[in-house]
Amino acid sequence: MGETCYHIPVLLNESVSGLAIRPGGTYVDLTYGGGGHSQEILNRLKGGRLIAFDQDPAVKRHLIRDKRFHFVGHNYRYLGNYLQYMNMTPVDGILADLGISSAHIDNPERGFSFRHDAPLDMRMNPAIPQTAAELLDQVAETELITILRDYGEVDQPGRIARKITQEREIRPFGTTRQLADCLRPLAPAGRENKLMAQVFQALRIAVNQEIGSLRSMLFQTAGLIREGGRLVIISYHSLEDRLVKNYIRSGNEDGKLQPDLYGKTSAPFRPVNRKVIVPGVAETESNPRARSARLRIGERTEFRVHVQ
C-alpha cells in the first residue's frame, strides 16, 4: 500500500457506511485526495473493485497499491465516459468528498491559503488555463460580484468587487498576500480572516469550475448506479449542498418532482437520511476543517411512481 491519508478524511465511517458496501461490489471514489476514503472502502471489500478519480496530478505520489484499485487522473465530470470505457457499469456505489484537501491548503505554492505569501494560483489541476490571479485581473466587476455572492456568501459583494477592481488598476494581482492586504481593511474588526476565507473560497470555486463539475457529475449518477446502490456526497458550501439535496430528492436541480404526461412523478433516488448528517463534536475538535461538512445519501430506486 502506498502512503495515504496526508489529508484527514471527513465523516469517514458515516460516509463509507452510507455506501452499504457489498463485499464483492464495484465502487467509485470521485475525490481520491489523500486516499483515506478509498482505503476504508477497500478495507470493507472482499474482492470487488474500486475506481478512484482525482484531477490533481500530485495525488499520484500517494496512490494505494492494491490489485482491486484503479486510478483515473481526471476531473469527475468525465465519470460516465471512463466507467463505460472500462466496462464497469453499473456500479454499486459512488462517493464524493467535495472539500478542498488539507494538502492544497498547507502547500503555500498552490496559492489556496491567505496564510502564506505565494503565487495566487488555486488550480486543482495545473492544466486549468486560468489562475486565480488571471481571473481577478480579467473578470468584469459585475461577474465578480456574482462570484463573491454565490460562491463565497460574502456580505456586500459589490463593495469588495469594487475595491478589487480599483486595486488591479494600480497593479495586477499576483500573490495571495497582495489580495489579503487588499481585503483586510474592508473587514469588521476581528473578522478579517472570515472575509478572506470567503473570498478565497469563492475564487477557488470559480477557477476550478466546481459547481459546473458537480452539476455534470450528479446528473450522470442515476445512469451509472444499479438499483439499490448508493450515492454518498459530502459538501461544504450551501450552494453545493442544495444541489445535492435537490438532486437526491427529485433527480433535478430545483428539487421538485416533475410530472409526466399522465400526471405521475418519479425520482431516481430515495433519500436515506432525511436529516443531513454533520460531524460530531469530537471530530470537529480534532479536525476543525470538518466543521462545515454536510453528508447526504441517496439509494437508487426503480423510478418509484407517485400518483398526484
Q: pLDDT digits over 205-220, tens only?
A: 999 999 999 999 999 9
If one compares 263 and 21, the residue with the highest pLDDT of the two is: 21
Tell me the average pLDDT of the chain.
91
Distances (CA, A) of 202 to 3, 50, 167, 182, 195: 31, 32, 18, 16, 11
What pLDDT does residue 263 have?
67
Residue 189 pLDDT exceeds 80: yes
pTM of the predicted model, to two decimals?
A: 0.91
Q: Residue 7 — very low, low, confident or very high, per pLDDT cuts 50/70/90?
A: low
Which domains can be identified in the chain, with CATH numbers? 12-102+210-307 (3.40.50.150), 129-207 (1.10.150.170)
Share of the chain above pLDDT 90, in %: 81
What pLDDT does residue 103 have?
67
What pLDDT does residue 257 have?
75
Rounded to 5°, the CA angle 148-34-130 comes to 35
Residue 279 pLDDT exceeds 60: yes
